[in-house]
Structure 1
Amino acid sequence: MKNFFSTAIFIFLTSTIVFAQQHRIDSLLKVLPTIEDEKQRIDLLNALAFQYTILSPNDAEKFANDAAVKARGTSYKKGLAESLKILGILHYVRNEYSVAVEYCYQSLKLYEEISDPSGKAKVLNNLALIFSKQNQFDKAREFSEQSLKLKRTIGDSLGVSNSLLLLSEYYRNAKNFAKALELCKESLSRLQQLKYEGGLSHVYLAMGEVYSDQDNYTLASSYYKDAIRYAKISSDNMQVIAANNKLGQLFLNSQQFDSAYYYLRATIALAKKRNNRAQEMEALKFLSIYFEKQGNLDSALYFTRQVSDLERVIFENERREQIATIQMLYDYQQKEQELGFQRKIVKRQYIAIGGVSLILILAVMLGFKFYALNKTNHQAKEALMKLNIEINRMNENLEMKVQERTEEIAQQNQKLIEYAFFTAHEVRGPLARILGLVELARIKELMDDREEILERLQEAAQELDEIIRIINRKLEGSRNK
């Protein structure tokens, strides 16, 4: 492994939480069965996954995958982003850089969607470290500076310290040792102000790397030992292994063979205990070089074979893990595609439900309208029936009146006929006599009979008067009827 510093500080850079202690894990495991809220449960699984990243990467991966599945099922983007970030850490530690980058990009996208600058800054830091490990220093610097800018904006002092430390790695690889030390010292100052001992081992290891590259073995070994001391305080076993390995290499380069042998053997023992094959293999390589320099070629050959065997085991394990990871990524893509289809189906169902709801609303409105119209029609029908009844009643009355009027007219006509008959016969007689008597009175020869004529004229006039009275009485009687 070319760069132990990068591997050692990776987990420190991913979170501001103090490194896991066993009692912390035990307390989380006790709380886990009592959590009913799904989002809280996902957060707790991620916390366990992070705590296990140092003690047991396999357990960490199990918890992270479990959290990721639950987060996808509940569409909890923040929980999924955290799970993917932790999985990126685990694959980085296993030197599976392409897979680690894929997880980091997925996590970064989710943090951008939910507008979480803190999570975004941490993932940018991780990407910077991955590209630094692959010797893509320009990309590493770009991501590191983006992360640093975000952390300064949100006021994350510990995060700024982490980014400064990572940026110093870029300048160390660029052989700008003065700038690298300047950034390390600024990071150290911030950690001391925050009284955060968990990060001190990483700064001291970084400073030891800078002095080691300048062949200043005295200062380098001093900082490496400080790194071991603070790593033990914070139970950071990976950091302890890395610092021991660096001291073994340093003493080997400075030809302090006894010290080199001691630290390399310590590295191998710790790496075996923590199942860290990559660092064990690195230490075995240097131990083989140690025996070669001592002239003990049999031991050198023995350790070289051990390196070869371990390399084969690591290769097989990595290949299996890569296959499993590819399968997992394929499953993830399938699930994402399936979720996409399900979202489309749900969207269509929502549209259909909306359409049906609209139709139902319109149907109810039309029903009310038809009901109102029907009620109005019923009322109009009732009114019309009443009007018809009234018209029929009026017609009946009218017929009765017409009949009565007809009868009345018939009676009046009969009376007129009677009147005409009476007039023609009764009135005509006296009137004729009067007219005759008047003519007689005009004759001179009858002057002597004038008195008799007058008497008879008077009688005829009285008779006519009586007849006229009778007619008047009949007419008045008809009017009264």
Structure 2
Amino acid sequence: MFMRLCLVLLFFILISYPLASHAQKESVAIRVDSLLNLSNQVRHHDVITAIASIELAQTLALEHHLYMHACRGYNQLGSLYLNIGFYTKSLEKFHKALALSREKSWMDLEAQALTNIGNVYYFEDSLRHALKYYEQSLSLSIRSHNKKLEARNLGNIGMVHSYLTNYTEAKQYLSHSLSLSRELKLMEGTCLNLLNLAGLYHLQNQQDSARYYYNNALELAEKLGFAQGKIYVQMGLAKVYGKLNNNSEANKLLKDALSLSKQETANNATKEILTQLGELEARNGNFKQALVYQREYSKLSDSLSTLAQHTEQQNYYSLLEAERNINENRLLKANVAARELELQASMANHQKQLALTFAAVFAVIMLICIMAFLLYHYRQSKKNHDSLQHMHAAIQAQAKELEEAYEKIRQHNIQLEGSIEERTRQLNQQNRQLIQYAFFNAHKVRGPLARILGLVNLLPKAAHQTEFQFILDRLNESANELDKVVHEINLILESKPVSQDNYN
């Protein structure tokens, strides 16, 4: 029993350690999620804080082997770099996400990374490369039944085909993406597909159809509060109005889009809007204003370069600070080592005492459980014993009754055997009487009876009285003889009467 308790205790300890480790990992996962959410909240007005939050989340995720969170962090950080125009850094993060997702066989995250890499090549105008990654992502999203990503990839492929002047394929992919987005009720995806279809009609110089789809997309973006979609719709509508020579409306739309893109820190869109505004003002002959937009474009590009340099410089200073801290730590190690050893010994002793206390408490609980089980087992055994005794007494009473019944049956069998012997004897005697009766009937009764019958036949033939009298005398003699025989038979039968009661 003691060995069994020890084994149970050991099993409980072995289970408790992984549970504690899992609880710690869950706590770190919650912290990583909170950092990633913080990055999403501040990305539009504080890019530096957003990047720092994601990098800290990445460090924690990799230290505690939370690889799925790390993969999400790579994708999120790459998207942030892509939004501010740092294509090289964005591509680096997306490729890390792609490698990690392929190593862990996470098809959804792999497809997401492929789509993001395609987006980088799209913004760099490497449309062939973008198309290759979009098609790979589409294949994976279909295999993993990720309908949302499938709709997104269909739209991206259609958009690339439209810029490659493959208008038939572009319309096919965009229409399919639009129907799938509506089926899944992906409102932002529906807005983007309407935007891309409008851009396709604009490239085909079908300005009325383009304006129709742009207006539908703008209405949906305003309804959803989809700022990024609204920016690109306004840019597209400005191109349409530019083609229709309605420069004032185009200028108004571009200025609204510029204001909104600055609020959202959408640097790629801002640079494209500034380029469009400069071209529009140049067509209108307003070269001074066009130059203002060109300078603002250059200023934004310089600020992005400065931001990149600032980020690199910050990383350099961080490395210098880390090196200085390492040198200081080397000086403090000698003083800290002893304290660490003392703390480790104290922690080990504390853990040992805690383990012993826990084992003692667990042993007491197990002992109480065992005693309760034994008490329950004893009560059940006593109850079963009383029940068996009661059944034994009932069986003994039944056995006694069976013995009495057996004795009665045995006496009755003896009586029946005597009755059978007596009845057999009577039947044998009756049989002898019947044989004797048959003898009389065959030999003594038959003779007189035959003579009587013969004489009766002769009576009508008697010619004289003498013959008639002679026949009567002979009849009388035969009748007397028959009567005598019958009397003898009755005497035989009456000497050993066989009554009906003997048969019963």
Instruction: Report what 2:166 is aligned to.
Output: 176
Instruction: Report what 1:104 is aligned to.
Output: 94
The answer to whether structure 1 residue 245 and structure 2 residue 235 are counterparts is yes
Instruction: Report what 1:213 is aligned to.
Output: 203
1:57, distance to aligned residue in structure 2 (A): 4.5
Instruction: Report what 1:129 is aligned to.
Output: 119
Mapping of 1:332-411 within 5 angstroms?
none
- Residue type at the aligned position of 1:94: I
C-alpha contact (below 8 Å) 1:278/1:314 kept by paired residues:
no
TM-score (norm 1): 0.56
- Greater alpha carbon shift after TM alignment, 96-105 vs 56-65: 56-65
C-alpha contact (below 8 Å) 1:54/1:236 kept by paired residues:
no
Instruction: Report what 1:24 is aligned to.
Output: none
- Residue type at the aligned position of 2:123: K
TM-score (norm 2): 0.54
Mapping of 1:112-261 within 5 angstroms?
112-261=102-251
Q: Would the alpha carbon gap of residues 55 and 304 (structure 1) be closer, same or farther in structure 2, given more than 3 Å must change?
A: closer
Q: Would the alpha carbon gap of residues 284 and 148 (structure 1) be closer, same or farther in structure 2, given more than 3 Å must change?
A: closer
CA distance in 2, matches of 1:301, 1:37: 54
C-alpha contact (below 8 Å) 1:144/1:166 kept by paired residues:
yes
| 2:85 match: secondary structure | coil
CA distance in 2, matches of 1:227, 1:294: 28
CA distance in 2, matches of 1:82, 1:207: 30
Instruction: Report what 1:271 is aligned to.
Output: 261
- Residue type at the aligned position of 1:191: S
- Residue type at the aligned position of 2:248: D
CA distance in 1, matches of 2:316, 2:74: 15
Q: Would the alpha carbon gap of residues 53 and 299 (structure 1) be closer, same or farther in structure 2, given more than 3 Å must change?
A: closer
Instruction: Report what 2:306 is aligned to.
Output: 316
1:154, distance to aligned residue in structure 2 (A): 1.5
| 1:195 match: secondary structure | coil
CA distance in 2, matches of 1:96, 1:50: 18
CA distance in 2, matches of 1:98, 1:104: 10
Match of 1:74 among 53, 58, 64: 64
Match of 1:38 among 28, 35, 41: 28
CA deviations on 1:271-314 (whole Å, 9 max, x unpaired) are 23233344334323322333333333333333333333334333
1:52, distance to aligned residue in structure 2 (A): 5.2
Q: Which 5+ residue runs of structure 1 have no aligned equivalent?
A: 1-34, 332-481
CA deviations on 1:104-152 (whole Å, 9 max, x unpaired) are 1111111122221111111111112212322333332222222111111
Aligned pair count? 298
The answer to whether structure 1 residue 90 and structure 2 residue 71 are counterparts is no
C-alpha contact (below 8 Å) 1:87/1:103 kept by paired residues:
yes
- Residue type at the aligned position of 1:98: T
User: After TM superposition, what 4+ stretches of structure 1 lie above 6 angstroms from structure 2?
Assistant: 325-331
C-alpha contact (below 8 Å) 2:237/2:250 kept by paired residues:
yes
Instruction: Report what 2:466 is aligned to.
Output: none
- Residue type at the aligned position of 1:151: S
| 1:37 match: secondary structure | helix
C-alpha contact (below 8 Å) 2:44/2:265 kept by paired residues:
no
Q: Which 5+ residue runs of structure 2 have no aligned equivalent?
A: 1-24, 322-504
Q: Would the alpha carbon gap of residues 183 and 105 (structure 1) be closer, same or farther in structure 2, given more than 3 Å must change?
A: same
C-alpha contact (below 8 Å) 2:91/2:120 kept by paired residues:
yes
C-alpha contact (below 8 Å) 1:49/1:64 kept by paired residues:
yes
1:76, distance to aligned residue in structure 2 (A): 1.1
CA deviations on 1:10-50 (whole Å, 9 max, x unpaired) are xxxxxxxxxxxxxxxxxxxxxxxxx9711132234334434
Instruction: Report what 1:336 is aligned to.
Output: none
Q: Would the alpha carbon gap of residues 112 and 177 (structure 1) be closer, same or farther in structure 2, given more than 3 Å must change?
A: same
C-alpha contact (below 8 Å) 2:84/2:304 kept by paired residues:
no
CA distance in 2, matches of 1:279, 1:157: 28
CA distance in 1, matches of 2:173, 2:49: 35
| 1:309 match: secondary structure | helix
C-alpha contact (below 8 Å) 2:44/2:263 kept by paired residues:
no
CA distance in 2, matches of 1:227, 1:100: 28
CA distance in 2, matches of 1:75, 1:121: 22
